[in-house]
């Protein structure tokens, strides 16, 4: 638990971190950047646990009191910074959880470590408050700022942090991981594709009972969407948004459209990822023109962007379904 060996992919970053640990060249602040579910927290945890481990090696020993309390969630020298009253991390959060505690020496270890998930939600005021600590940190303090969007940070924060960019894990590595966890081959293939490089998503999908229901609903809605009445699309958006993460649904829609387009171009069933849906995908490809299908991905990408800006999920999905239908109905290739 919380060891480098538990992390799938990102071997290059782990190698760099190990080098840092071996050479004892520890910086005071790191930004770990990457997509949601990409393993930012796992990496920060493994790094932090190793720093606190009493053996001082480049992998936690799992035996010492520090390692055991770390895994038990009660190591006093690790502090997770979270927003208390607001959605993002406020200046009060920084004052109460960082500034007021950082000068108290670590209880048992050489380091006192702060891990801040969603650090990119810090307000400007909060960042300025943190900056004061980062400018003159106590010798023992180490900060891990986890972020999806590094552009949210002030340049002055960026300049004081070492940046690690987490890369998406290749689908075949996710698949192998799922096979080790006893998932059937076909399902592992599909979940690995849906996960889009995120091991966190893959685990969530593999363990979720709602995943199959959501997928069924998405595919039902998309098959023959050109002829679907609007109220069906509205209802589908409502049902899907109520029970699931809209970003996951959008990824599913993307994979379906990708399969339809791939088959349209190649007429080769081997190009289809969602093998269990081959017949429906072939039908959809035959019933729509290449030009019309090519217009769809743009709407999916836009929806993904809107969702990141916190647009209402049901509304975003409904618009997406209506736009897909519109694109397929107003087939540009058939216009004279
Ligand atoms: Zn240890």
Query: How far apart are alpha carbons 132 and 61 in whole angstroms?
Result: 34
CA of 40 to the centre of ligand 1 (A): 21
CA of 99 to the centre of ligand 1 (A): 28
Average pLDDT over residues 5-13: 90
pLDDT digits (tens, 9 = 90+) for 245-301: 898 899 899 999 999 999 999 999 999 988 889 999 999 999 999 999 999 999 999
CA of 232 to the centre of ligand 1 (A): 57
* Dihedral sign, Cα of residue 301, residue 282, residue 265, residue 205: positive
* pTM of this structure: 0.75
Task: Tell me: pLDDT of 93 over 90.
Answer: yes
Between the two ends of the chain, the Cα-to-Cα distance in Å is 63
CA of 307 to the centre of ligand 1 (A): 41
Residue that wins the pLDDT comparison between 213 and 318: 318
Query: How far apart are alpha carbons 270 and 38 in whole angstroms?
Result: 28
CA of 107 to the centre of ligand 1 (A): 16
CA of 60 to the centre of ligand 1 (A): 5
pLDDT digits (tens, 9 = 90+) for 37-91: 888 999 999 999 999 999 988 999 999 999 999 999 999 999 999 999 988 999 9
CA of 74 to the centre of ligand 1 (A): 14
């Amino acid at each position: 638990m919380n060891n480098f060996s538990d992390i799938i992919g990102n071997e290059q970053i782990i190698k760099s971190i190990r080098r840092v640990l071996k050479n004892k060249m520890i910086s005071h602040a790191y930004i770990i950047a990457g997509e949601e579910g990409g393993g930012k927290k796992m990496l920060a945890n493994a790094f932090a646990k190793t720093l606190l481990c009493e053996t001082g090696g480049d992998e936690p020993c799992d035996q010492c009191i520090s390692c055991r309390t770390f895994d038990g969630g009660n190591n006093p020298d690790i502090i997770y910074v979270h927003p208390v009253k607001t959605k993002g991390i406020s200046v009060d959060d920084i004052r109460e959880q960082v500034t007021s505690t950082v000068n108290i020496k670590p209880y048992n270890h050489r380091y006192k470590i702060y891990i801040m998930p969603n650090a990119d939600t810090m307000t400007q005021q909060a960042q300025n408050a943190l900056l004061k600590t980062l400018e003159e940190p106590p010798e023992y303090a180490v900060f891990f700022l986890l972020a999806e969007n590094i552009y949210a940070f002030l340049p002055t924060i960026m300049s004081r942090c070492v940046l690690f960019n987490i890369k998406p894990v290749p689908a075949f590595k996710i698949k192998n991981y799922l096979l080790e966890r006893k998932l059937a081959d076909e399902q592992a293939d599909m979940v690995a594709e849906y996960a889009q490089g995120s091991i966190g998503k893959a685990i969530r999908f593999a363990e979720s009972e709602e995943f199959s229901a959501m997928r069924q609903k998405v595919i039902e809605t998309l098959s023959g969407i050109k002829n679907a009445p609007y109220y069906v699309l509205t209802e589908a958006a409502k049902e899907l948004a109520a029970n699931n993460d809209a970003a996951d649904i959008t990824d599913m829609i993307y994979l379906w459209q990708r399969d339809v387009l791939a088959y349209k171009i190649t007429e080769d069933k081997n190009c289809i990822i969602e093998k269990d849906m081959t017949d429906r995908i072939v039908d959809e490809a035959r019933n729509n023109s290449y030009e019309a299908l090519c217009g769809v991905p743009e709407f999916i990408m836009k929806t993904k962007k809107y969702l990141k800006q916190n647009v209402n999920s049901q509304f975003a999905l409904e618009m997406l379904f209506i736009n897909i239908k519109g694109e397929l109905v107003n087939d540009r290739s058939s216009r004279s």
